[in-house]
Amino acid sequence: MQQPVTIIDVAKAAGVSPSTVSHTLNGKRPVSDATQRRVLEAIETLGYVPSWNASRLKQNASGIIGVLAADITETFVNQIVRGIEYGLSGGDYSLFFVSGLEFGNDLKRAYNFLKSHQVDGILFCHHIPLWKEFNLDPKRSDIPIISLNMQSADMISVVIDNETGGRQAAEHLYSCTMGHPAIICGPEDRLSTIDRLSGFSQRISELQLTLPDDPYYGAYDFEHGFEAATHLMDTHPETDSIFCANDYIAAGAISAVIKSGRSIPEEVRVIGFDNRDFTAFWPIPISTFEQPLQQIGILGASILKQVIHTGTYTPTTHVLQSRLIPRASTIRH
Amino acid sequence: MQQPVTIIDVAKAAGVSPSTVSHTLNGKRPVSDATQRRVLEAIETLGYVPSWNASRLKQNASGIIGVLAADITETFVNQIVRGIEYGLSGGDYSLFFVSGLEFGNDLKRAYNFLKSHQVDGILFCHHIPLWKEFNLDPKRSDIPIISLNMQSADMISVVIDNETGGRQAAEHLYSCTMGHPAIICGPEDRLSTIDRLSGFSQRISELQLTLPDDPYYGAYDFEHGFEAATHLMDTHPETDSIFCANDYIAAGAISAVIKSGRSIPEEVRVIGFDNRDFTAFWPIPISTFEQPLQQIGILGASILKQVIHTGTYTPTTHVLQSRLIPRASTIRH
DNA sequence: TTGTAAGCGTTATCAA
DNA sequence: TTGATAACGCTTACAA
């Protein structure tokens, strides 16, 4: 562990001035070939790496984009983050990832942290409205913020159209002969659940069909799907189509339906949401929707770069669509 | 988007000197209550956030730990990263996450990037030896590096004991009556695969048993498991125990075994590795091993903090154990 | 308890 | 084509 090498050390070693070293690196003014060679050589031998801090102190742009997310282990979040990386790679920006976890989900502190690092912009990536109490006015903020996966008033947002997803699910099940639809929801407070339910219900009533009263709110997991579907088969034995809020629920529902002695997809059709890995090779492959998560990240990054570049922030909402993946749980093979 | 507020603006607004503002914030020397109040008030109204860059320029420690990983969408990686976040949260360090993706997997560039940000240490988190060609001598580096999930000569490493995992798998299958074991591997070049195979084989020969010649190298996926097990049932119908390199392979193997008309776990036992979410609710719940991924991150972060604090770097390897999770694919319910 | 001033490593401006 | 110098925003002796 030794002393850091500065631009002055390099300048001395190469027998030039610090500004020449700087310009050799940044190419903002011509440097003769001979000088350039000596400088680069000195940099190599000394192992010099310019200090980002010192550099950014002089310039107004940091070249860093901050990403704020709650939990990186959520597929939702890490897929979006990966999209952001794609969107940023090869460009002039680096990504500074900050987890809500570090800040006890205190968005204000996390925001200040990013600000203190002089990030040029922030991508705010949420899968749950954990931080909804934070009311930062983006117009008064000196850093542009883009909200990913959740619509925020007064912000540029990139979201998925869950309502249309719900409508599409109804449409698909209808095309597979639907007479008695049912739905098994996720947690009641999740916006995505609400929107999907709303889209599905709308289409159902347009089709002159009816749903059981109970939307089966519950956890996004297998057990909930299993129990809800068991109850459903019991109380509504005529059910022939089940729309599940996500794939875990769908897997549970499928197991319950089979256990009840019914065949899939002949007697009952089940569809999930999210396209989790296991749906493709589940004993009965599960029909589901692929969400454009990486697209959210890519688009968000691209919009943010625009905003930074042009300096104008106009709140808008960009909507992306999910894609139906029909499999054996709804269509005969 | 307005001009950034500096410490001087605050000082003026509060009618004090910049150093007083600084000391109010950092508490390195006493400040009278009255002054403190005025300063904090000024900070609040102006929305002042100190510049990290300027601050770090004066100090030697940046308070940032760099995390270098290839692909955040890999469960492996994001679980470890989450562990790091836990290990760092509440302390004096923030995390600077850098993806190999951004740098075209050029470790040297990524390393320089982190160095230019003056990180105090680096956690190098790999699930595949993508960057093995990079031979940075950690003793000559001025930044301490810790290798997570892969042993590196001359580095402090935190790894999982895959060999013992393999031995444990053999032990468990043996305790469930094993007469004719078999193995279905993952990609041949993965260290984890090699170590697990080696541990398993060792224990098998200690038990005076033999394995089929073919270890079935292949992809870490369902199809490979299905095809390998189909072939295995065909060529080695006496097989009663299959150790699969991961859970996707195990799921495929189970499907193939069932399709061959054999019962699980009565006639054939199958065990996987990784404890993926679906193994818990697979129609036949899959026995598997839970890897202490978050522990790797937590331990790595803690060791790195030690190293930074004490200033001494002594290459060692810290080994963590996987945990067997017995389920219905090996034991009768 | 507080203020003044030097300096961290870089880049922009000006001069040569 | 190059060099000297000031300045970025902050911390920290040193002085008061």
For residue range B41-94, what is the model confidence (pLDDT) as tens digits?
A: 999 999 899 998 898 888 777 888 999 888 888 888 899 999 998 998 877 788
Please, which contacts does A6-13 make with residues 24 or more away whose CB atoms are closer than 8 Å?
A: A6/A48, A6/A51, A7/A48, A7/A50, A9/A46, A9/A48, A10/A39, A10/A42, A10/A43, A10/A46, A10/A48, A13/A42, A13/A45, A13/A46
For residue range A265-306, list pLDDT tens digits in order: 999 999 999 999 999 999 999 999 999 999 999 999 999 999
B72 close to A (CB below 8 A): yes
Q: What average pLDDT score do residues B295-313 get?
A: 93
What b/e string do you get for A175-207 counting C-beta neighbours within 10 Å, with b at 16 or more? ebebebbbbbbbeeebebbbbbbebbbebbeee
| Residues sharing a CB contact under 8 Å with residue B6, sequence separation 6 or more, in sequence order | B48, B51
Neighbours of A288 (CB within 10 A): 29
B149 close to A (CB below 8 A): no
CB < 8 Å to A280, chain B: 222
pLDDT of residue A320: 97
Q: How distant is C1' of C7 from CA of B65, in Å? A: 26
| Residues sharing a CB contact under 8 Å with residue B275, sequence separation 6 or more, in sequence order | B247, B288, B289, B290, B291, B325
pLDDT of residue A130: 53
Q: Is the pLDDT of residue A90 over 90?
A: no
Query: How far off is chain A from B203, nearest CA to CA, in Å?
Result: 32
Contact present, A31 and A19 (Cβ < 8 Å): no
Q: What average pLDDT score do residues B146-159 get?
A: 90
**What is B92-132 written as a DSSP string?**
T-EEEEEEGGGGTT-HHHHHHHHHHTT-SEEEEE-SS-TTT
Residue A116: which of B49, B142, B252 has the nearest Cβ? B49
DSSP secondary structure letter of residue A273: S
| Residues sharing a CB contact under 8 Å with residue A12, sequence separation 6 or more, in sequence order | none
Share of chain B above pLDDT 70, in %: 93
pLDDT of residue A139: 57
Q: How distant is C1' of D2 from CA of A302, in Å? A: 39
Average the pLDDT over each of B50-59, B272-281, B317-326 and give the range with the smallest value: B50-59
Query: How far off is chain B from A210, nearest CA to CA, in Å?
Result: 31
| Residues sharing a CB contact under 8 Å with residue A19, sequence separation 6 or more, in sequence order | none
Q: How distant is C1' of C1 from CA of B17, in Å? A: 12
Q: How distant is C1' of C11 from CA of B128, in Å? A: 40
pLDDT of residue B62: 82
CB < 8 Å to B142, chain A: 1-2, 4
Query: How far off is chain B from A94, nearest CA to CA, in Å?
Result: 8
* Interface touch A118/B51, C-beta < 8 Å: yes
* Interface touch A251/B281, C-beta < 8 Å: yes
Q: How distant is C1' of D2 from CA of B137, in Å? A: 37
Q: Is the pLDDT of residue B290 over 70?
A: yes
Q: Is the pLDDT of residue B130 over 70?
A: no
pLDDT of residue B134: 58
Q: Which of B214, B142, B141, B205 is nearest to B183 (CA)?
A: B214
Residues 26-45 of A with CB under 8 A from B: none
Mean pLDDT over the full length of chain A: 90
pLDDT of residue A129: 59
Helix (H) or strand (E) holding A57: helix A52-58
Q: What average pLDDT score do residues A109-118 get?
A: 86
| Residues sharing a CB contact under 8 Å with residue A14, sequence separation 6 or more, in sequence order | A20, A21, A35, A38, A39, A41, A42
CA–CA distance, B309 with B304 (Å, rounded to integer):
8
CA–CA distance, A38 with A19 (Å, rounded to integer):
14
Contact present, A304 and A146 (Cβ < 8 Å): yes
A19 touches strand C (CB under 7 A): yes
Q: For D2, which residue's CA is nearest its C1'?
A: A20
Query: How far off is chain A from B82, nearest CA to CA, in Å?
Result: 7
Q: Is the pLDDT of residue A87 over 70?
A: yes
For residue range A195-253, list pLDDT tens digits in order: 999 999 999 999 999 999 999 999 999 999 999 999 999 999 999 999 999 999 999 99
CA-to-CA separations, B66 to A51, A103, A261, B113, B117, in angstroms, rounded: 15, 17, 55, 10, 9
B134 close to A (CB below 8 A): no
pLDDT of residue A1: 44
CB < 8 Å to A62, chain B: 53
A18 touches strand C (CB under 7 A): yes
Q: Is the pLDDT of residue A135 over 60?
A: no
For A130-168, give the secondary structure using H, E and C: CCCCCCCCCCCCCCCEEEECCCCCCCEEEEECHHHHHHH
* Interface touch B281/A73, C-beta < 8 Å: no
pLDDT of residue A204: 97
Q: Is the pLDDT of residue B325 over 90?
A: yes
Would you place residue A142 in the very low, low, confident or very high pLDDT band (cuts 50, 70, 90)?
confident
The values of phi and psi at residue A71, to 5°, are -140, 110
Amino acid type, B261: G
For residue range A60-71, list pLDDT tens digits in order: 778 889 998 888
Q: Is the pLDDT of residue B141 over 80?
A: no
Query: How far off is chain A from B215, nearest CA to CA, in Å?
Result: 23
A277 close to B (CB below 8 A): yes
CB < 8 Å to A282, chain B: 278
Going B266 to B270 to B274 to B279, the CA torsion angle's sign is negative
CA–CA distance, B175 with A256 (Å, rounded to integer):
32
**Which nucleotides of strand D lie within 7 A of protein CB?**
1-5, 7-13
Mean pLDDT over the full length of chain B: 90
* Interface touch A96/B99, C-beta < 8 Å: no
Cα dihedral A30/A34/A37/A43 (nearest 10) = -80
B17 touches strand C (CB under 7 A): yes
pTM of the predicted model as reported, rounded to 2 decimal places: 0.88
Q: Is the pLDDT of residue B137 over 70?
A: no
Would you place residue A2 in the very low, low, confident or very high pLDDT band (cuts 50, 70, 90)?
low
| Residues sharing a CB contact under 8 Å with residue B205, sequence separation 6 or more, in sequence order | none
For residue range B225-250, list pLDDT tens digits in order: 999 999 999 999 999 999 999 999 99
CB < 8 Å to B58, chain A: none
B316 close to A (CB below 8 A): no
Residues 90-109 of A with CB under 7 A from strand C: none
**Which nucleotides of strand C lie within 7 A of protein CB?**
1-5, 7-13
Q: How distant is C1' of D16 from CA of B42, in Å? A: 25
DSSP secondary structure letter of residue B25: H
pLDDT of residue B43: 93
CA–CA distance, A329 with A285 (Å, rounded to integer):
6
